[in-house]
Amino acid sequence: MRASKTANCKRSAVGSQNEIHISGAEGLYEASEIQKIVKRYIGRALNHPKGKADKIIITIEDIKQKPKEISALPVATVNSRTPDEGKDIAIKLLQSLGISKRAINIAFELIKKSSMRGAAIITVEKGDRLEPDNERGVRVSRFGINKSALKALSLRLSKLGINTDTVKEAIILASKVASCEHVVAELCVSDDPFYTTGYVASKKFGYLRIPNIKHTGSKSGGRAFFIKEEINVEGIINYLERMPVIIGRVASCRGIILTDEIFNCPYK
């Protein structure tokens, strides 16, 4: 689903220029779930904090290929109380994964601007932007979770008081992204002005939620995938956009943990 609204700007001509992205959503579902999911997506597009959409595009495709089954990343929340603290923790995590300051700065700059519909692909050392369309970014799709894993995940998240669609969708998306062998880490900040928890996800540390990574009311948001240098980016994009991947098992879900615990005992 892709929802947008026309900007209130007299000067701009009709076209993609004055279309503001409101909300997007995608997933891998059973045919019997289509009605329910479409209804949910439309509700989201029409009741979004970024404004009411005036155009909603829904694409439904029959996926013949059997999905690749993966595990969800383990989940934990770091203790951060302000955007400065949150950003600091994100930077420490990303640096400890071997990502250069330059690459990290590029990611935070584009999140500050917040104009993309998808994610930027940034190389870990040089900080090169490799997505073919820098305005749009790469949109991860074809990710889902099977019924028993969803039940287990919902139960674990309920115990922590975070069993929401936003959290679950982000965990599923991040788990698919992390399952791509050339992706080292993902940084995410929601573009919803009232959703201030972001995350850093990686194979090494799992899915680490970072509360207060931005100020309430801020329109900043975006995603960056940090990838190894010298890797064919088309293969990565094809995996992220087109390879059906389903979560079949969940991992641990912990509440707030100290930064030291993360660094002293990484997941893998």
Sites of contact with ligand WAQ (CB under 6 A): 24, 26, 116-119, 137-140, 166-167, 170, 173, 188, 190-192, 195, 197, 199, 209, 221-223
- Smaller CB distance to ligand WAQ: residue 203 or 214? 214
- Smaller CB distance to ligand WAQ: residue 99 or 177? 177
Q: Residue 41 CB, nearest distance to ligand WAQ (Å)?
A: 12
Q: Residue 168 CB, nearest distance to ligand WAQ (Å)?
A: 9
Q: Is 253 exposed, middle or buried (0-12, 13-18, 19+ CB in 10 A)?
A: buried
If contact means CB under 5 to 8 A according to the sort of partner, which of ligand WAQ, Mg ion, none does residue 267 touch? none
CA–CA separation, 185 and 166 (whole Å) = 20
Site for Mg ion in 179-208 (CB under 5 A): 191-192
- Smaller CB distance to ligand WAQ: residue 26 or 53? 26
CA–CA separation, 245 and 28 (whole Å) = 8
If contact means CB under 5 to 8 A according to the sort of partner, which of Mg ion, ligand WAQ, none does residue 203 touch? none
Residue count of the chain: 268
If contact means CB under 5 to 8 A according to the sort of partner, which of ligand WAQ, Mg ion, none does residue 166 touch? ligand WAQ
Q: Is 114 left (phi over 0), alpha (psi -120 to 50) or beta?
A: left
Number of H helices, E strands in the chain: 7, 13
CA–CA separation, 256 and 211 (whole Å) = 10
If contact means CB under 5 to 8 A according to the sort of partner, which of Mg ion, ligand WAQ, none does residue 222 touch? ligand WAQ
Asked whether 125 and 103 are in contact (CB, 8 A), the reply is yes
